A and B are shown apart, each in its own frame.
Chain A
């Protein structure tokens, strides 16, 4: 088993608050791994440190053996990490295809090219990626008028543009209808399998997590309290304690339904 992402003792302190404290884990190639935890557990902080939006207070992040701690997002992306956001960040003024083309242009380092026109560059590659996420039929629609679920799928296509070895997905199904959630996670699982890449995602919907994740990590108050298969996590006493207040691990959290 090849380790793609290695996180050692990662910490982030905001003043006295230890948002993330000494988190250590690995993500292996071809693995679909979930990071869960109650609100405020530090999932997003953790993600933002992995992707370079936040500088860690301590610890080390390495990708395929290379230290990427504290590097800016665009450098981490260049090393093969794709990302989707909890709140989508697509380019509203471009078409669906152009959104993907933009990432491809960046991947091929053609940002400062003055010929040819951008909308002609890597269009076929973009359509192929859109095909994967099932958005090819909407390729020429304006991004601004897409349904939310479609935006999420578009973001996935964008994240695949640089042939990533690792995808970081922050709440990929937030705000989607249950059926859509299932479709998107199935799609993600297929991509993991077909392209042999790794995915680390955070998620509120436990159905989604337990149905698709190969491994699950549980974060509570900034500390990792469990890391294992679905069964292992389900039976972990500490995890049960954390989640008891909010019902059982199998129930959906109403707040996000």
Chain B
């Protein structure tokens, strides 16, 4: 009984920081519809500022003053980010802003390293709250009780702000209908800035307030961000009470998970999220998203046509150039190009479902890594010849996509995205934890191609043929009735259903095709690297693909491929420099601002303006 109560208290205390960060993210999403990946970075900054301030300001007053001050500073940093980085791209396609926030993550990571150094900083303890209180015989840290006492006040304050003040009314109005706020005569951009300040300040507070239970380190930004997204989604995006309920739910379940199922620590919250979403598709307290929202912000997509003679000639010329690389280029150029082609195929497979089908997946790495693992497992455990194992990669990934897709296509928008993420985390944790089969994070090694394919040049040609073949296949499919049906379902679900198209079946097929082609890329990957590890299934891998699709141009056909080539090329070159993340981050932000339609989309627009390219939109 005592232990149970103590565990409950621990869970509630853990919920405090999580709730602060999650409510900020939820608020920002609710009003601005921006999926702010940099929210974890703001949390990290809150912790670092907290540590620094607490060293300067002594005593209890200094401690709590530092917490508040950290929130304030981080809030102001949020304002700077909003004005400099996000404001220029509000009119870009939905979710495009997440690319910008990804750039912000990289910049903040390197700046933090520059300013505070690499060493982990242990958090100061709260003066006067250093010991324990005995409750039913169990020791409970005083600071835990303080956190439990503070959280309801913050919830109440937010509730008051949102329901009782004019700002709150505007925020709520904006959450439900953004155009309404403009109609009410409110300056929308300042409302967005205000909300960004509040949301960022909450993240900063969260970072500072957790210091006595932890500290500040350079990995905490990415460590918290997935948990925060899970909380926001379980609670319902945009709902503050939802974020509170979900923080408590996740934190408490986690404590009991640790006690009774210690191995569950990796995957528990994703299982909870998947279950919640399957029962309540919009989270516990969320509202249904208005239909037709994604892919429809900004300019509509344009009609597509298979490449004409000029286009085909250019592609053919590029192919010839690539085929001649082994003659003129160095050995390493082939290695690098092999990497790039694989990434291009992976990105193209995501673009097929994302752009053509309007299905935004946050978990596409599950199929890339899934295919790679499928091949590697056959080689390791069954001694399968490479050729057969390679063919198995797209097959297994497609099968995985069929299974997961069946669940995911029931949802839409951000909730669809988060369910794909939950499934990809399940695959990741299986690879990570099922040590006997997958080798855990020591992975599977010595997965090399057969003798006839083993040379760098041979494998380069193999990748060129299979990779480019896969990309062309995806492009071909985009122009077939299936591709058109996917776009029909994306443009108008209602019209498509009313003209006999089984939209869910079409989307399911699109999902499976995208999964299979990602698996093909995974197959190429594993035999080029000779090994596979769970990091190829990580969220970061999924977002790599997502970001290059947006960076290249989500409303184009070749955006993913161009974005991937650009990103991999730039990254290879930049990692030689010490602060490459800072430069890459700034570069991404610059591209986002200069080319809000993505690289390909903006080039096309430029060409239209100059008259090289005739488009009806230039009328």
Residues of chain A whose beta carbon lies under 8 Å from any beta carbon of chain B:
51, 53, 72-74, 77-78, 83, 85, 89-95, 98, 101-103, 105-107, 110-119, 121, 141-145, 158, 161-162
Contacts and interface: CB of A to CB of B under 8 A. Distances in A.
Contacts of A112: 481-482, 509
B303 A93 contact: yes
Contacts, number: 121
A117 B303 CA distance: 14
A78 B302 CA distance: 29
Nearest to A112: B482
Contacts of A113: 480-482
A89 B503 CA distance: 14
B480 A114 contact: yes
Contacts of A142: 300, 302-303, 616-617
Given A72-B497, A77-B499, A93 B301 contact: yes
Contact of B306 (A102, A111, A117): A117
A83 B481 contact: no
B492 interface: yes
Contact of B495 (A118, A121, A158): A158
Interface in B564-613: none
Most chain A CB inside 10 Å of its own CB: which residue of B477, B480, B496, B509: B480
Contact of B500 (A51, A78, A95): A78
Residue of B296, B299, B491, B506 with highest tally of chain A CB at under 10 A: B491
Interface residues of B, number: 37
A145 B619 contact: yes
A85 B494 contact: yes
Interface of B: 296, 299-306, 476-477, 479-485, 487-488, 490-492, 494-502, 506, 509, 616-617, 619
**Residue from the set A91, A94, A158 with the largest chain B CB neighbour count within 10 Å:** A91
A160 to B, nearest CB: 11
B616 A161 contact: no
B616 A98 contact: no
Contact of A93 (B302, B481, B496): B302
B302 A91 contact: no
Given A92-B491, A112-B481, A118-B480, 5 more contacts: A89-B492, A89-B495, A91-B492, A93-B301, A105-B481
A93 B488 CA distance: 8
27 contacts: A74-B499, A85-B494, A89-B495, A91-B491, A92-B491, A93-B300, A93-B301, A93-B487, A94-B303, A94-B487, A94-B488, A101-B484, A102-B496, A105-B484, A107-B499, A107-B500, A110-B481, A111-B481, A111-B502, A111-B506, A112-B482, A113-B481, A114-B477, A118-B481, A141-B616, A161-B499, A162-B500
A121 B479 CA distance: 11
Given A94-B484, A102-B485, A114-B477, A74 B303 contact: no
Contact of B488 (A74, A83, A102, A141): A102
A26 B497 CA distance: 25
B498 A91 contact: no
Given A93-B303, A162-B499, A118 B483 contact: yes
Nearest to B492: A89
Contacts of B299: 144
B500 A90 contact: no
Nearest to B501: A106
A126 to B, nearest CB: 13
A91 B616 contact: no
Contact of A74 (B479, B492, B502): B502
B185 to A, nearest CB: 24
Contacts of B303: 93-95, 98, 142-143
